[in-house]
Structure formats: C-alpha cells, structure tokens
C-alpha cells in the first residue's frame, strides 16, 4: 500500500487526535458528530465521531454486531427505512448536516451511493437497464447520455469487456462476482461523490474479490469510498484509513498501516490478533 500521510513526514498522531480525527484531517468529506443510532430501544451506535477523507478508502472493521453496517447505512440515510429506526447527532457531508430539517434523503442518496453485501441486481432488468436504472428512473431519457453513462460505469467496474457483446441479457444471469461489479457500475452510473460498500466481497470467491479490490483502488481518485469488511487482510489491502468499532463505539481510528502495525488500544490489538471477535 502507498502510505499517504507517512510520506508527508507527519508526527505520529496522539490518542486524542486519533479519536477525534476531524481536528487533524484536511479534505474532510463525511464527518459524524456525536452520532447515535437505534433500532427500537436497542442503541447500536454510541456518540460516534468519525471522519472520512475525500478521495480515500476508509475501512470499518469490528466484530459482528458492532454497528459497522448501521454506521454506513446512516451515512446515506438508508437506516431510517427500517421501521422503528432512529438517529441523533449530525452527519456532515461537505460541511452541511444531512440530517438537518428540510433535507430530502433522496438527494443525499444520489450523492452517497451504496453497494450491498449480497449482489442485488434488478432481476427483471437487462445488464444495460440495471446500470441505466438510476438515471432513467430519475428522469433521464436521452439515449446517447444513457449509452455513454452505461459504458463508462461498466468500464469503471471492470465489467465492460465481459458484457459489451450482450447488454440485453438479464442481469441475474451473470456470475456472482459479475453481479456485484454490475451493482457497483449501477451505483457509479448516477455519479455519486461517496460510495459506501457493505461487505461487498463476503459472498464472493477470492478471484472475484481480488477484482473488486483492484476496482476500489482504481476508482478512489474520483470517489470517496467507505468499506465495511469482516476481513482484516482486505482492510489492510484496500484502505488508507481504518476505523475499529466495538459495541457501537469507535475504539480506534487512524491510518491503516499504523493501526495494523502499532495499535494504540489494547482492544484493537486483541481483535487484530484474533483473540476475540
């Protein structure tokens, strides 16, 4: 991995700086401020402060049930679609609160796209229609615009060469890894600024996983990526920053290399060395 901050010869971050990175990071894209989330009476996120840097890959790791998926579902307001789900605190996207009164969640979701754990292409739509769906169902009718967006998105998702001969075949007829890349292309087609990925490789074999990791590395220059993963090696391979969550709290957050090599918290070290989780 290239080490962004280390090459800039910065001082090692203090614990305070690591836990409140928005005091140290520049180019903030997304920042949560004292953010809580509940399902009914069950509080899943507790006073979470985390910051995501623009044009970087941030990995969120932690044992099952620690709130990783909930956290990213809060970053594009998908959390509230579950009944009895609620939140408090702020999530700043480019400095303005996406939970402020009068903000339309639909406009947020157009800026912050999402890729899910299991590939979920629209089963009755063709490859082309799947990728075009986001634009089309938001009113885009111009065929040349759609054609261009579909090709560009499929190319970004490393899928174009495999499907260009038959864009009319059903999206559901692709292999699992291809379906997941189709879902990534579908998310990219609406040109979001941030892409959230919820364990995008957990249903895939190692070769398909490698392709998606390569894809993530290639798009991060233009997008901000937040990836939830169960796989610590994956976090180490793809991310610039890593956040370790435990029981809904942010335990440690920092550059991926320093977090993996010199974790500050004992809990982080125990998790990374497989002592629990």
Partner 1 sequence: MSNYSMRRFKNKLALWIGALCAALAMIPLVSILYDVVKNGASSLNVDFLTSAPGVIGQAGGGIGPAIQGTLLLVGLTIIMGVPLGVLSGIYLTEFGDNPVGRVIRFLNDVLAEFPSVVIGVVIFTLIVLTFKSFSVIAGALALSIIMLPIITRSTEESLKLVPNSIRDASMALGIRRWRTTLSVVLTTAKSGVVTGILLAIARVAGETAPLVFTILGSQYFFSGLNSPMDALPIRIYRLALLPYPYAQAQGWGAALVLILMVLVVNIGVRLATRGRLYTTRSRA
Residues that bind partner 1 (CB under 8 A): 76, 78, 81, 83, 106-111, 113-114, 116, 118, 120-126, 128-129, 133-134, 136-138, 143, 146-147, 167-168, 183, 186-187, 190
Question: CA separation (Å) from 169 to 109, 129, 131, 145, 165?
Answer: 28, 10, 13, 21, 10
CB of 215 to partner 1, least distance (A): 18
Q: Which is nearer to partner 1, 155 or 269 (CB)?
A: 155
Q: Which is nearer to partner 1, 47 or 118 (CB)?
A: 118
Q: Which is nearer to partner 1, 137 or 207 (CB)?
A: 137
Q: Which is nearer to partner 1, 77 or 220 (CB)?
A: 77
In 3-state terms, what secondary structure has residue 100? coil
Q: Which is nearer to partner 1, 104 or 266 (CB)?
A: 104
Q: 49 with 18: CB under 8 angstroms?
A: no
CB of 72 to partner 1, least distance (A): 11
Beta-carbon neighbour count of residue 26 at 10 Å? 6
Q: Which is nearer to partner 1, 113 or 254 (CB)?
A: 113
CB of 71 to partner 1, least distance (A): 15
CB of 174 to partner 1, least distance (A): 15
CB of 173 to partner 1, least distance (A): 14
Q: 186 with 121: CB under 8 angstroms?
A: yes
CB of 129 to partner 1, least distance (A): 6
Q: Which is nearer to partner 1, 84 or 101 (CB)?
A: 84
Tokens 């009068």, residue located: 102
CB of 168 to partner 1, least distance (A): 5
CB of 202 to partner 1, least distance (A): 14
Q: Which is nearer to partner 1, 147 or 261 (CB)?
A: 147
């Amino acid at each position: 991995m290239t080490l962004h901050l280390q090459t800039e010869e910065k001082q090692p971050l203090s614990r305070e700086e690591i836990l409140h990175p928005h005091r140290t990071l520049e180019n903030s894209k997304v920042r949560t401020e004292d953010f809580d989330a509940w399902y009914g009476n069950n509080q899943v996120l507790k006073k979470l402060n985390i910051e995501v840097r623009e044009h970087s890959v941030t990995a969120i790791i932690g044992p099952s049930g620690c709130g990783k998926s909930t956290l990213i579902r809060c970053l594009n307001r998908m959390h509230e679609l579950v009944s009895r789900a609620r939140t408090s605190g702020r999530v700043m996207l480019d400095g303005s609160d996406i939970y402020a009164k009068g903000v339309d969640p639909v406009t947020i979701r157009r800026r912050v796209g999402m890729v899910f754990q299991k590939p979920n292409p629209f089963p009755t739509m063709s490859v082309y229609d799947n990728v075009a769906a986001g634009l089309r169902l938001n009113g885009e009718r111009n065929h040349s615009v759609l054609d261009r967006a579909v090709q560009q998105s499929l190319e970004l998702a490393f899928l174009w060469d495999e499907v260009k001969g038959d864009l009319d075949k059903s999206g559901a007829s692709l292999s699992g890894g291809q379906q997941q890349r189709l879902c990534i292309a579908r998310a990219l087609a609406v040109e979001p600024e941030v892409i959230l990925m919820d364990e995008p490789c957990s249903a895939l074999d190692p070769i398909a996983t490698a392709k998606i990791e390569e894809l993530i590395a290639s798009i991060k220059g233009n997008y901000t990526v937040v990836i939830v993963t169960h796989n610590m090696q994956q976090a180490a391979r793809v991310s610039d920053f890593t956040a370790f969550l435990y029981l809904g709290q942010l335990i440690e957050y920092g550059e991926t290399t320093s977090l993996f090599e010199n974790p500050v918290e004992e809990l982080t070290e125990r998790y990374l060395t497989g002592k629990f989780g």
